[in-house]
Structure 1
Amino acid sequence: MTDETKRIEEQIREAREAFEGRPPLDKWHPDLSGDIDMRILRDGTWLFQGKPLQREAIVRLFATILRREDDGEYYLVTPVEKWRLQVEDTPLLAHGLDVSGEGRDQVLTLTLNTGESLVVGAEHPLRMDSYDSGEPRPLVGVVQGLEARLVTAAYYELAEYAVASPDNEQVLGVWSDGQFFELGQG
């Protein structure tokens, strides 16, 4: 770990004493400190200075201060610093799916690569996108403009719960938390 990452880690720890759960990033608006030599690969690997961050606890910690702003860029934000980093695809991955209930009462819960769980619904909507190749790119909203991409296995598992839309039988989707999320044409 370098002095730069140690300093950011210390700022996060100090700030965590004042809150529970995720930091209040929406209240932090420091000036841009610059670009940090950090990159999140499509497979979810975090690189710092070209080398993978080995400690999962550090990755999870940094993920709590990550946000995407209106300019489309990703930033690590503390109360006093803001560092721009590069993200190849999405910064988070959804790899676990838990399903409870059936039909309109069904609730889908996704587990992220950071260990967090979230319920697909109004607060964490599911949407379909695609890569230039046409490959599906299922995404779920997380927080602060961040999205998590469902890994292939989670997407295939999700597809097992697809049903016809109540408005158009040609459209397939899934129910979760009282809402219908379209997956595509049937």
Structure 2
Amino acid sequence: MTTLNKIESLLRDQRGAPPIADWHPELSGDIDIVIKADGRWIHEGGEIKRHKLVKLFASILRREEDGEYYLLTPVEKWRITVEDLPLQIIDFEVNDVASGRRIVVKTNVDTWVELGKQYPLSVVTDGATQEPQPAVQLNHGLQARVSRPCFYNLVELAECRNETMILFAGGQEFELGSV
């Protein structure tokens, strides 16, 4: 278990994000960037391996009402391709306090958010494989796929109610699936 102070510092010590909600440029076109289902960013066929560059691009990424993903600046808007979800949940920290459980999750671009009403966890079942597909809702219309190891560890924290696994976090209940 993590101390409450550590959770507070993880959330507080993040650098501010660009104000992309205020940016509304016209479409500049398509750019050959693909975010693979496993979280890798590919540009013109080659993987972007500089983590800081991926973090920069992720900080200016938005999904709009048309369902498309765009990289934005105040004057440019470039459409990119996303195979599944653009980000991954790769780690989490838990703290159980008298007022309830707090869980903060970490994305593959080093941002932390606390599961709760603002950042809910949802799980849908793949129709073909019947495997759970957990995701966390983020800012700017984005979602992050919860990695399999993180999901299994979250399931271990869940309680069974009427044959459904329920995770309590941030004053909310999240259904993880049937037993």
- How far is 1:170 from its partner? 2.9
- SS of the equivalent of 1:84 reads strand
TM-score, normalization: structure 2?
Answer: 0.87
**Preserved contact between residue 103 and residue 114 of structure 2 (Cα < 8 Å):** yes
* Amino acid across the alignment from 1:96: D
One of 129, 133, 137 as aligned partner of 1:137? 133
Matches within 5 A, 1:33-182: 33-101=28-96, 105-131=100-126, 132-165=128-161, 169-182=162-175
Aligned-residue RMSD, C-alpha: 1.5
**Preserved contact between residue 45 and residue 52 of structure 1 (Cα < 8 Å):** yes
Q: 1:92 to 1:103 in 2, by over 3 A?
A: farther
Moved segments of 4+, more than 3 Å: none
- Residue 184 of structure 1 is matched in structure 2 by 177
**Preserved contact between residue 136 and residue 146 of structure 2 (Cα < 8 Å):** yes
Question: Structure 2: how far apart are the matches of 1:119 and 1:149?
Answer: 15
Gaps of 5+ in 2: 1-14
The count of aligned residue pairs is 164
Q: 1:136 to 1:102 in 2, by over 3 A?
A: farther
* Amino acid across the alignment from 2:52: A
Question: Structure 2: how far apart are the matches of 1:26 and 1:137?
Answer: 28
Gaps of 5+ in 1: 1-19
- How far is 1:103 from its partner? 8.8
Identical aligned pairs, as a percentage? 41
* Amino acid across the alignment from 1:158: L
